[in-house]
Structure 1
Amino acid sequence: MRPLRLLVAEGNPPAMRERHAASSGATPSDFYAAVLSELAAGLELPVRVDVCFPADEGANLPSGEDLDGYDGVAITGSGLNLWKAETESLAQVEFARAVYDAGLPFFGSCWGLQVAAVAAGGEVKLNPQGREIGVARSIRLTAAGLDHPMHRGRTETFDAPAIHSDEVAVMPPGGTLTATNELCAVQAAEIRHGKGVFWGVQFHPEYTFAELGGILARYTPIMIAEGFLRSEEESRAYVADLVALDAEPDRKDLAWRLGIAPSVLDPKIRRTELINWLKLQVLPAMSARGRA
């Protein structure tokens, strides 16, 4: 069996991803690629994961490759805003359209969901209810979501790591809402467009608590300005608890203080949608193309 071949598209332009790496230890795309490699290994699959940078001027796929050479494509989160129509954002919308045209299994977290929605005719706006940050609470599967394979193994209501200020405000034609919560109407969706099928979530199933802590440390001034925290000292304590919980997930005191449910602590449950995408989208498509 030849290796599973996946492509991760970095959602950030160079300065943003370098800033992320400085606080978290890796760029979002390198982190995402490592998680996908780990999940594939857990499924006993040989895997090769490449990274591309559609936000970069003149960017191309890895040397000598085209989309048809991959079995699936995933898009990371990003610090960009689609409603600002930045050049780096619009380039990623065009990339997403190319993925749809290629008919490849397609997944996205947070920004990835937003890009895929816009590429298929949807609209993204600043969420009038404000930022969702840290852990998204009480995400609820819709009637369609309860039966959707993307969420197989999820309870009807769950929490998940999240950080975003934008939301999919208008679902595209061919879109099916599969999860929602009080703060963000579109927490997960399937989008069928052209030849492709996209599964995506507004939260971050790929995150560890250490990764989340690194991001929140960088967001400290914003969180204080928006009233989530009162001081840098409070932020340092919160981030330290997250990092400690990542190292010792059986610390009941930390989980209680942070309000982290047991299901969120379990990486297999936390990454439900990514695992299901690999098992139920990527592998069947790979077999159907005669490449397994």
Structure 2
Amino acid sequence: MALRFLVVEGNTRDARQNHKAAYGLIPSESYAAVLQGIEPDIVCDLAFPADEGANLPDAAGLQSYDGIVLTGSHLSIYDRTPDILRQIDLMRAIYASGTPSFGSCWGLQVAAVAADGDVQKNPLGREVGFARRLLPTEAGRAHPMLAGRPDVYDAPAIHLDMVTVLPADCTILSSNSVSPVQAAEIRLDGGVFWGVQYHPEFSLGELAVILDRRKTLLVDEGFCRSEADAAAYVADLAALQQNRHRADLAWRHGIDMEVLDSARRTREIANFVAHRVKPEKSSRGRA
């Protein structure tokens, strides 16, 4: 059963190309590969709403997809520049289309703002590398998006901004000491969005590439004492990507199988496909 997905890229063209130069794929291509790893019959189109003049789907086009996924972004939504406003408008149209939608990091933030929530800088600072000790709420423990997650878990993450004002119809599903909204369901205009502030789509290899380009930031913000320390951390993540059985590195950095095992790391995305996309496709009766 083929499933049609739209992957909405949150980054500007320059940021996309910088990521591709370092990793080989732009973020939306990488996210599409994760989706296809979960379900080989998924077919993905990519959309670039940050680009002026981008050819974006209309209401009928959005309804033609079985699922829509929003990537992360280097942008800060409170800047409200045209490349950001186009993404907020598109998210409102996604809600109105009724097509199941999911988002990571920036995706959650866009979904919250489109539903009249708010996003600001986290006064505690950046969460980088991993979101630690994520705790499902009572609602989250019963929610299908977090099905299979343990009572406490970690996940790849890098963000400075966070949801600070909840939309009217929002259920928090997971929190930690850094961000009270780490996973949520948001409803608006008949549409249902599932999202996370962390990045279940990031392999350790992709995370290493991202952090390698931010070694100066890691030093400036106190995460590493020197760029050499930052480079060593990046090298350890890359080594774990190559061999997840490096128990010495996993122990050194406190990384367990919720991150090392790709099926467990991407569980929220797989649950979205299983519990939202496939049932919705079946009920619509599309071929």
For Structure 1 versus Structure 2, the TM-score category normalised by the shorter chain is over 0.9
Q: Report whether the alignment pairs 1:73 with 2:68.
A: yes
1:62, distance to aligned residue in structure 2 (A): 7.1
CA distance in 2, matches of 1:167, 1:18: 25
Q: Could you say which residue in structure 2 is the equivalent of 1:113?
A: 108
- How many Å apart are 1:246 and its aligned residue? 0.5
Change in CA separation of 1:82 and 1:94 when aligned onto 2, cut-off 3 Å: same
SS, match of residue 66 in structure 1: helix
Q: Secondary structure at the match of 1:56?
A: coil
> In the alignment, what sits opposite 2:193?
198
**Percent identity of paired positions between Structure 1 and Structure 2:** 51
DSSP-derived class of the 1:285 partner: helix
Amino acid at match of 1:80: L
- The separation in 2 between residues aligned to 1:262 and 1:278, in whole angstroms, is 22
**Aligned residue for 2:78?**
83
Q: C-alpha offsets along residues 104-163 of structure 1, whole Å, 9 cap, x if unaligned?
A: 000000000000000011000000000000011000000110101110001111000000
Q: TM-score, normalised by structure 1?
A: 0.96
**Runs ≥4 residues deviating over 4 A:** none
The C-alpha deviation readout for 1:179-209, integer Å capped at 9, x for no partner, is 0000111000000111210000000001100
Q: What corresponds to 1:34 in structure 2?
A: 33
Following superposition of structure 1 onto structure 2, how do residues 80-229 of structure 1 map, counting pairs within 5 Å? 80-229=75-224
Q: In structure 1, which of residues 244, 251, 254 is the aligned counterpart of residue 246 of structure 2?
A: 251
CA distance in 1 between partners of 2:218 and 2:81 (Å) = 24
Structure 2 match to 1:238: 233
The residue type equivalent to 2:210 in the other structure is I
Partner Cα separation in structure 1 for residue 262 and residue 234 of structure 2: 19
Q: SS state of the match for residue 249, structure 1?
A: coil
Rounded Cα–Cα distance in structure 1 between residues aligned with 2:130 and 2:82: 30
Aligned residues: 286
TM-score, length of structure 2 as denominator length: 0.97
Amino acid corresponding to residue 31 of structure 1 in structure 2:
S
Question: 2:280 is aligned with what amino acid?
Answer: A
Please give the alpha-carbon distance, in whole angstroms, between the structure 1 residues aligned to 2:225 and 2:80.
Answer: 33
Contact kept, 8 Å, 1:162 with 1:204, in 2: the verdict is: yes
| Aligned-pair Cα RMSD in Å | 1.3
* Structure 1: stretches of 5+ with no match in the other structure: none
Whether the 8 Å contact between 1:40 and 1:47 is mirrored in structure 2 is: yes
The partner residue of 1:287 within 274, 282, 287 is: 282
| Partner SS state of residue 39, structure 2 | helix
How far apart, in 1, do the equivalents of 2:217 and 2:233 lie?
Answer: 15
Cα distance, 1:25 vs structure 2: 2.1
Per the alignment, residue 5 of structure 1 pairs with 4
2:65 partner amino acid: Y
Extract unaligned runs of 5+ from structure 2.
none
Question: Structure 1 residues 61 and 87, CA, compared in 2 at 3 Å: closer, same or farther?
Answer: closer
- Matched-pair contact (CA < 8 Å) for 2:257–2:264: no
Does the 8 Å contact 1:23/1:217 carry over to 2?
no
How far has the Cα of 1:228 moved from its partner? 0.6
Contact 1:140–1:157 (Cα < 8 Å) also in 2: yes
Write the distance in 2 (CA, Å) between the matches of 1:185 and 1:21. 32
